Amino acid sequence: MKKLKVMAAAVCALALAACMLAGCSSNNASNDKKDAAATSSDKTTLIVGFDQSYPPYGFVGNDGNFTGFDLDLAAEVASRNGWDIQLEPIDWDAKDTLLNSGAITCIWNGFTMEGRENDYTFSDPYMLNAQVIVVKKGSGIESLADLAGKNVLTQTDSAAYDVLAGDEATKADLKATFASLDTIGEYNTAFMQLESGAVDAVACDLSIAQYQMSAKPDAYVQLPEDLSDEHYAVGVKKGNTELADAITKTLKEMNEDGTVEKLCEKYAEYGLSYTNWILK
């Protein structure tokens, strides 16, 4: 009987040990799953802030979805780096607040870098740009000098506005000849006002001018003198060189394998040209 009791006790002890080991194994497996989930949730998300009324770089397509050259570039960069992507249409006036708060991780939308170098960390510039003046065909305005006494319109907080009236305006003397220089939230409405005769000229990026003239070749003409020559780059939060460098590196790879040229061809009907691409 004593032997039986000893054997029973031993069996119980072994069973208890087995249960404890199984519990430990289960807990370890559970912890491993939690760690894996945490790693997965830490995946980088590229939140692209853009003006949805800025064709051909970012706009609402005929199907109601966001499209554009810069948005396609961003999607491909995210894919090649294993990042998720989120397209976030923004109020252009609020872009700095959104970027600094982390609501967006980059501004990628025909974004001129000149004059903004102290406010953002930029990728290497990828596209040539210029600030230009567009007028109605047949208006009699044929040069910058002809803008004297005229009403000019541009986008709020745009590079064109900075050239004409910003803190370091390079064309302040020209602006002084205007009857007025007003701003508006987005360029599509600006060109509607130009077409209706509510304003005499629109100051804008070359890409915007090319798009509008392609859409309505009999309505508008660009003045032969540019206001300034500039470059487009991707703006990220000041100090985030790791993200800016990763974007630059991937854009170079995309140019080398022909992806960039194909995207330029996709938007050629909007006036976009691969000859303006400068990042090699």
Domains recognised in the chain with CATH numbers: 45-126+233-274 (3.40.190.10), 129-230 (3.40.190.10)
- If the chain, 280 residues long, is cut into consecutive pieces of 10 residues, what is the mean pLDDT of each piece? 40 43 43 35 87 92 96 98 98 95 96 93 96 97 98 95 93 98 95 97 93 93 95 97 98 98 95 93
- Ranges assigned E (strand) in the chain: 45-50, 53-54, 58-60, 66-67, 84-89, 106-107, 121-122, 127-136, 151-155, 180-184, 201-205, 220-222, 228-232, 235-236
Per-residue pLDDT at 3: 38
Per-residue pLDDT at 270: 87
Neighbours of 52 (CB within 10 A): 18
- Give me 224's structure tokens: 């032969």
Taking CB atoms within 8 Å and a gap of at least 24, the contacts of 267-274 are 267/56, 267/68, 267/69, 269/214, 270/55, 270/56, 270/210, 270/211, 270/214, 270/215, 271/56, 271/207, 271/209, 271/210, 271/211, 271/213, 271/214, 272/56, 272/69, 272/207, 272/210, 272/211
Per-residue pLDDT at 43: 81
Residue type, 238: K
Per-residue pLDDT at 42: 66
- Give me 121's structure tokens: 């960390």
Q: How far apart are CA 162 and CA 170, in angstroms?
A: 8
